[in-house]
Chain A
Amino acid sequence: VQLKPAARGKYGLVTVTGTDGAVLRQYRITGEELAALHQSDKGIPPGCTAEEWESGRVVVFGKDHDVGDADVVGGRLRIKTGERVVAGEAVETWLVLEPGEWSGEDIERATVADSVLASTDQRRAGVAVQSLKDGRLEIG
């Protein structure tokens, strides 16, 4: 797995819902398009109509993490492993390595402690986690 550092507003996720609340479509816009939307007063995200946007049934999420992106929060190494839409909301899955379970000066050179890996063969440069001893299997 090639880990990539998170970046604020990396891309936008546009969700268009119908009057009944059901999701009509969901798609990505680029970080540049997201930034342009934030800086505008009445801007409309690409891919939806003015009627949809002004009805309040469209929402744009600023996403920092794509699948495979990682960051460190409170000493925890977090790796985003999945994203899907449930009931109109983007639901993410993450692999979280607690302090002590990983080490490294930065995300690109992070390593995972043998104690958390099912096999020492899995330890190599980068957090290439196939499976953990406690069953946390998220990415491969």
Chain B
Amino acid sequence: MAVAYDAATGGQTAGGVSSLTFSHTTSGSNRALFVGVAGEWFGTTLTGITYSAISMTSLWNAFWDTFYAHAGFRLAGPASGANNVVVSFGAAADVIRVTAVSLTGVDQTTPCGTPVTTTATATSITVDAAAATDDIVVSHLAVMSNIGNNWSPASGTTRATSGSVGSAQSISATYAGASTVTTTWNSDFGANRVALGSVAFKAIATAPILTQSRYRWRNDDGSETGATWAAAENTAITLAQNTPRRLRVQVQSTNDKPSASYKLQYRKVGDPGWDDVT
């Protein structure tokens, strides 16, 4: 089951406040929520974010300059429907920009990969996030600029932005999954000071389903192509002891992974356990 985009809330901006509260609506199954924060909170700290009064987990929460900071928080299994996001600071922060993105189909045990962050003063910024085909990478850009709306993801989809208000922006985008997802953001209006954080939201690990579809016994009397059949397909045979026979088995696999490996085992009727065929 692949991760899918659910909803986004953006444009929540404030200055001189110690908390910021708004509503975000989630739906679907196996939900996850990402909240990205950008701004200036020199002299205080972002102490936490809750959704539906449940504490979210910090992915990154750091100053990248004396004054500028950015943060990304996640929550697996957030309550469905409209619930409150509360972003709290120890004391009043100068500038706060918040965006929220929710997803479905996310592994509830290990919802995220390893987050990666970087900073730059440039017209472009990139970071690679490890992921998988069915994952979605959420990429959050913190922009310190009062130009506004000049940054966009190179190949991702912008989901929420705080717009062009004031001296900072918070922008969240999603990128389709791959083994390595290059999250690149570009400015179309000159260089800015930017901080980037990206993280994969992991798809539910689906166990492969193996089904034996058919079998056929062969005599041990020739080559792989030349040996004769001992019975019709899907027909049992009776063997005398110590009589070599060959067995072809076809197994159908669903949700198989390229990295999966298997072994063949056998068990005689009445035996307590299985033995490997070596």
> Is B186 among interface residues, defined by CB-CB distance under 8 A?
no
Given contacts A54-B82, A74-B43, whether A64 and B15 have CB atoms under 8 Å apart is: no
**8 interchain pairs (CB within 8 A)?**
A8-B91, A41-B83, A56-B12, A62-B18, A64-B92, A87-B165, A90-B16, A91-B15
Min CB–CB distance A131 → chain B (angstroms): 24
Please report the C-alpha to C-alpha distance between residue A96 and residue B46 in the assembled complex, in whole angstroms.
23
| CB <8 Å contact, A42 and B17 | no
Given contacts A37-B84, A87-B165, whether A56 and B18 have CB atoms under 8 Å apart is: no
| CB <8 Å contact, A88 and B165 | yes
Instruction: Choose among B19, B24, B163 the residue with the greatest number of A CB atoms under 10 Å from its CB.
Output: B19
| CB <8 Å contact, A9 and B18 | yes
> Is A100 among interface residues, defined by CB-CB distance under 8 A?
no
| CB <8 Å contact, B82 and A65 | no
A73 neighbours in B (Cβ, 8 Å): 43, 91
Please report the C-alpha to C-alpha distance between residue A12 and residue B91 in the assembled complex, in whole angstroms.
14
Chain B, residue nearest A91 (CB): B15
A56 neighbours in B (Cβ, 8 Å): 9, 12, 22-25
State the majority secondary structure of interface residues on B.
strand
B39-56 contacts to A (CB < 8 Å): 43, 50, 52-54
| CB <8 Å contact, B52 and A42 | yes
> Is A117 among interface residues, defined by CB-CB distance under 8 A?
no
A-binding residues in B (CB < 8 A): 9, 11-25, 43, 50, 52-54, 79, 81-84, 86, 88, 91-92, 163, 165-166
A28 neighbours in B (Cβ, 8 Å): none
Contacting A54 at CB < 8 Å: which of B25, B53, B165? B25
| CB <8 Å contact, A6 and B24 | no
| CB <8 Å contact, B14 and A90 | yes
Chain B, residue nearest A14 (CB): B21
Min CB–CB distance B251 → chain A (angstroms): 48
> Is A21 among interface residues, defined by CB-CB distance under 8 A?
yes
B12 neighbours in A (Cβ, 8 Å): 56, 59
A24-60 contacts to B (CB < 8 Å): 34, 37-43, 45, 53-56, 58-60
| CB <8 Å contact, B53 and A39 | yes
| CB <8 Å contact, B91 and A64 | yes
> Is A108 among interface residues, defined by CB-CB distance under 8 A?
no
Please report the C-alpha to C-alpha distance between residue A80 and residue B16 in the assembled complex, in whole angstroms.
10
